[in-house]
A = this chain, B = another copy of it.
Amino acid sequence: MTDIFLRACFGKPVERTPVWIMRQAGRYLPEYREIRAQHDFWTVCRTPELAARVTLQPVERLGVDAAILFSDILVSLPAMGLPVAFRPGPSIAQPVRTRSQVEALRVPSPPDDLSFVLDAIRLLRKELAGRVPLIGFGGAPLTLAAYMVDGAGGKGFPALRTLLYDDPATARRLLDHLVEAQGLFLEAQIEAGAQAVQIFDTWAGLLSPDLYKTFALEPAARLVERLRRPGVPVIYYLRDAAHLLEAVGRCGADVISVEEKIPLSRAARLIGPGPALQGNLDSAALLASHDVIERLVSEVLDDVPKDRGHVFNLGHGILPQTPVESASFLVETVRRRSRRPDPAGDVATRASRGPSNG
């Protein structure tokens, strides 16, 4: 198998920088839009054959170094007792704001309630046949709590913040519930065959450093701790989080995904030694000319400290209006420009780190 992605996650020597693209299975691909013309979003997520098909599309089309399961971070909420509608943003009819609502939440049983995810993973491992590793994923506790408490995304989640201030005990209880639920779910994804997992803490960047440490980082770190398996890296994603980077290394993840507006060299300095970095080309660069893409890819590659593991990616998800051709050019450019003549030459400086979960 091409394990260049996994090696980079653990900061081991690589002959070139691996690359994948957040939301690589999605709306910018005509073959994805074709499937979505026939099936709604939830149906694609919940039908293993469809989820597997769209997961494979960018692997075949772009030649990325990892596949990521097509799914949604809210996929486990219905099994907790919270149906989610997409119109097109997620919407939850009964937001969770009281202690009794939290106590009434179920912990989903992945083999029973989320078998469609596990079946998709098993199917994908067969169809990928070792070509590239498969990444599973899920929402971090705070980020899922944000949707559950506010009932909808995109407006800064004021109800969540109010709950953290007004009733921290209930917030903690909800977060504990989510550590347990997401722990079981992501463990099941790994057992089904996911070779890495990415935890999306998409909205943690809304919080001040103090609130973040208490209500986002602490539960995320517990979740990461539960997921430690030899050879299976954990990636932690967050955004609008420049004010949190000094704390974020403590989440224990092998890789921190960095948004495009923070230079990787600065992120490395703030995060401190340890985790590899993922990122961080501006997704808007893919709407520019090839010359610009080439220049910006080089800037990202050159900005990574030499002793640091690096997985190339965008800072956020790929934009729906991205020309497929530019996504291909990105992958080709990263491969070409990051090639190292003698990867073994790096061993001396890197071998001391080894896999952080080895």
Interface positions of A (Cβ within 8 A of B): 156, 158-162, 165-166, 205-210, 240, 242-243, 260-263, 266, 282-285, 287-289, 292, 296, 316, 319, 321
For the complex formed, measure the closest distance between the CB of A170 and the CB atoms of chain B, giving whole angstroms: 13
The answer to whether residues A319 and B208 also contact, given A166-B292, A261-B243, A296-B165 and a CB cut-off of 8 A, is no
Cα–Cα distance between A282 and B160 once the two chains are bound (Å): 12
Instruction: Name the B residues within 8 Å of A321 (CB-CB).
Output: 158
For the complex formed, measure the closest distance between the CB of A89 and the CB atoms of chain B, giving whole angstroms: 11
Pick the contact of A207 from B208, B209, B261 — CB < 8 Å?
A: B261
B243 touches A288 (CB 8 A): no
Cα–Cα distance between A207 and B260 once the two chains are bound (Å): 8
Pick the contact of A263 from B158, B209, B260 — CB < 8 Å?
A: B209
Cα–Cα distance between A242 and B246 once the two chains are bound (Å): 12
29 A-B pairs in the complex with CB atoms less than 8 angstroms apart: A156-B284, A156-B316, A158-B284, A158-B319, A159-B284, A159-B287, A160-B284, A161-B284, A161-B285, A162-B284, A162-B285, A162-B288, A165-B282, A165-B284, A165-B288, A165-B292, A165-B296, A166-B289, A205-B240, A206-B261, A208-B261, A208-B262, A209-B261, A209-B263, A210-B263, A242-B242, A242-B243, A243-B261, A243-B262
Cα–Cα distance between A346 and B156 once the two chains are bound (Å): 38
B287 touches A162 (CB 8 A): yes
For the complex formed, measure the closest distance between the CB of A162 and the CB atoms of chain B, giving whole angstroms: 4
Closest to A262 in B: B243
| Most B-side CB within 10 Å, residue of A162, A205, A263 | A162
The answer to whether residues A287 and B319 also contact, given A209-B263, A243-B242 and a CB cut-off of 8 A, is no
Cα–Cα distance between A165 and B262 once the two chains are bound (Å): 16
Instruction: Name the B residues within 8 Å of A162 (CB-CB).
Output: 284-285, 287-288
| Most B-side CB within 10 Å, residue of A156, A162, A261 | A261
